[in-house]
Structure formats: C-alpha cells, structure tokens
A and B are shown apart, each in its own frame.
Chain A
C-alpha cells in the first residue's frame, strides 16, 4: 500500500519563537547597517540584501510552512518571480527615456558652442575654457522632476566662495551677472548666446539649496575679442531657443 506524503514533521512552538527572534534581530541589524554611513556602499548593499533574503526565506520556510509542506506549493511562487522579470524589463524599457546624446541643437547658435548639462546637483560643461567672443551655451536640464537655472557671474572669486545670504543662495546683487537662463523645466534645453570678454566666470544654479549642494562651476575665457564684452548695463542679447529634449514629455 502506498503511503501518502502527509504533513510530515510539525514544527514545535519554540521553533517559531526562534524564527521570530531571528527576524527581529535581523530587522534591527538592517536599521543599524542602513545608518552606518562609513560603511562602503558595496558591503552595505551586500549585507542588506543578505539580511532581507534570509528574512524572506525564514518567513517562507517556517511561517508559510514550505519547509514542512509539499515543495509543489513553492512552484507558483517561483513562477511569479520568473514572470515578473521580463514584465518589469518591458515596463522599464518602454518608459519615457531622455537620452542626452541626441539633444536637438538650436538653429541660431553662433560662435563657440558649449554643452551644459545640469542635474541635481551638478553642472557639467563640455569644456571649461573658451576664446573671447560670442559663446553659445546649450543648456540641458537633465533632472527628471526639478527646475534648474543657469546664471553666469563675471567674478574673480572661486566658485565655492561666492557671497551667500542666510538661506544659502548667492547674493546676486553683490556680483556682476553676465546673463542668465531662468527656470529651465526638467528635461528641457535652452540656448544662450553671449559675447564674453577674457576673464574668470562662475556659473551656478541659484534656486534654493542648489548652489550649496554643488551646482557651481568656474569658466575661463582667454584672448581678446573684436567685439566688446557684455556689461551688466548693456548685456548682449541672449538668444534663448527653448528646445525640448527628444523623448521628453510636453509641458513637463
């Protein structure tokens, strides 16, 4: 006579208490590791993933009885995980991507063209020097959900020593502003052409907290120009050409 695989060994109450104790200790460990800023990120991730995987396994095996029941019950669970992988890949790949390599260039760029990429919270330029004369800055706000601006100061001060107010914003009145592109929406670009004389410039985003968090960069212009450099009183007309980054949502 064949014997059916009944619910074999039944765990004792103390087993569940021990499992609960391990889950509680692991949760505390997770919080501690999460707070350890000094831990290298690779080690931190490895520890946290290990703790989470062990916790999940303990709940599955003991609280959900997989250790004592037929293994066939684990099949739908495993199947769900396998199916979730391609679905999430499809979702991610079909989401609105914003490739910066295919940015549209404005038609009215003149002179030297500098690509500017602003993300939260960093400004990157394609080059940090230029020859005196007209320079076009093609500014892309690469942030996904945050406005940025681009202000050019003509100053001898290093970028991290600009005068700031109580809120941490740079005191624009205390400095010479060459030109500015304000409130560039996320995933949009704007072009500014300005006639620059030889000198030292600092470029920042002065929205609250952005300068303090690192959105500042210095820029040097060398040589002489046939045209006089812009002055605050008579600024060169910035040719702003709002363009949208391909793939970005309208009105974002």
Chain B
C-alpha cells in the first residue's frame, strides 16, 4: 500500500467524530432503543408506584445476590469490550480476540443467570398471568434478547477478527459493537436498581 493510500485509509477511518456519519447512525439507532427501553422503564416505574403494596409482595420473590452478581458480570463484560477495542486500535490482535472471547463468556454467564432466575420464579408460581410477573418478564426478556443479539454480534466480530479483518486502521465494526454492548449494560444498570433495589 502506498503512502498516499495509507493516508487516505487513515483519513477514512480516523475521521473527526462529527463527520463520522456511520457512528452518528449507530447513535441514532441507540436513540431508538432509548425510546423503547425508556418507555418500558418509565411505564414500569409508574405501574409499581400505583400498585406499591402488590409490587412489594412480588419483589420478595426476587434474589438480589444472584442478580447483583449477574450485574457485576455484565459490567465486567463492558470493561472487556473497552479492552478489546483498545487492543485492536494498538494492533494487538491476540489480546483483542482474547478480550472479545471473555465478553462472550461473561455475556453467556449473564444469560445463564437470568434463565436460572426465570426458572426459579416459574417454580414459585410467578408467570405471565401475574400482573407484575408479566411486566417483569417483558422488561427483562426484552433486555435479555438484546444481550443475545449482542452475543451473536460479538461472535460475528470474533469470527471476522480471527480472519484478521480488524486492525488499528479498521476497527469501526468493533467500536460499533462496543457502543451497542455498553448501551445494553446501561439499560441493565437502570433495571437492576428499578426492579431489584428501589
């Protein structure tokens, strides 16, 4: 690759943020997701304020230690996404792949924890026909689906990564996956407080 070509590539991939239409597009996509989760979260909040006594009864079925650990797992996975992005920006490709693999493992653990929680709740008779049961399963289910989508996305990035598709001049795909994953993390931070702690 000639010096001019390298320069052109650098200009394309390391452009100013304001000029990065692709990245702005990702943020607009996340804005749409904010509307979805924002509506769910605010509606859930108003609902539990209205039926506070019944919510208190429902919440007694939830396990804070289990989901607290799960929250820690998801936050840690976000940190490893940051590490993966840093690694690819520095052309440390093995470190990039290793960190992304950790993200996949941690995300899977999170999903496993949520599946275990759901099975426990089903065992206690809390199902979709219960008012707060339905709200709980819808909100956490939609979030869990986003985590699953994130895991599929991470797997694709990992697959391309093993084929040396990314490097310090071409890391946008990793960055965009990271933005999505961090957003899913943010949603969980709010849900954890709203559903389990407050």
Contact = CB atoms under 8 A, between A and B. Distances in A.
Contacts of B28: 76
B14 interface: yes
A59 B185 contact: yes
B17 A56 contact: no
Interface string A69-81: 1101111110111
A73 B27 contact: yes
Given A5-B17, A6-B14, A27-B75, A84 B34 contact: yes
A20 B54 contact: no
A74 to B, nearest CB: 8
Contacts of A73: 17, 23-24, 27
Interface residues of A, number: 57
B78 A87 contact: no
Contacts of B190: 52, 56
A4 B75 contact: no
Nearest to B56: A120
Given A27-B71, A59-B78, A80 B38 contact: yes
A80 to B, nearest CB: 3
B64 A31 contact: yes
Contacts of B33: 80
Interface stretch (A140-148, A152-160, A237-245): A140-148
Given A73-B27, A80-B32, A24 B72 contact: yes
A227 B16 CA distance: 91
A85 interface: yes
A226 interface: no
B2 interface: no
Interface residues of B, number: 59
Interface in B16-54: 16-19, 23-24, 27-28, 30-35, 37-43, 46-47, 51, 53-54
B177 to A, nearest CB: 12
Contacts of B38: 80-81, 83-85, 87-88
B189 A55 contact: yes
B197 A56 contact: no
Contact of B51 (A48, A52, A144): A144
A173 interface: no
A91 B30 CA distance: 22
Interface of B: 14-19, 23-24, 27-28, 30-35, 37-43, 46-47, 51, 53-54, 57, 64-65, 68, 71-72, 75-76, 78-79, 81-83, 86, 129-132, 178-179, 182-183, 185-186, 189-190, 192-193, 196-198
23 contacts: A5-B17, A7-B16, A7-B17, A13-B86, A16-B82, A16-B83, A16-B86, A20-B82, A27-B68, A35-B64, A62-B82, A63-B78, A63-B182, A63-B185, A69-B17, A74-B27, A77-B31, A77-B34, A80-B38, A84-B34, A87-B38, A87-B39, A120-B57
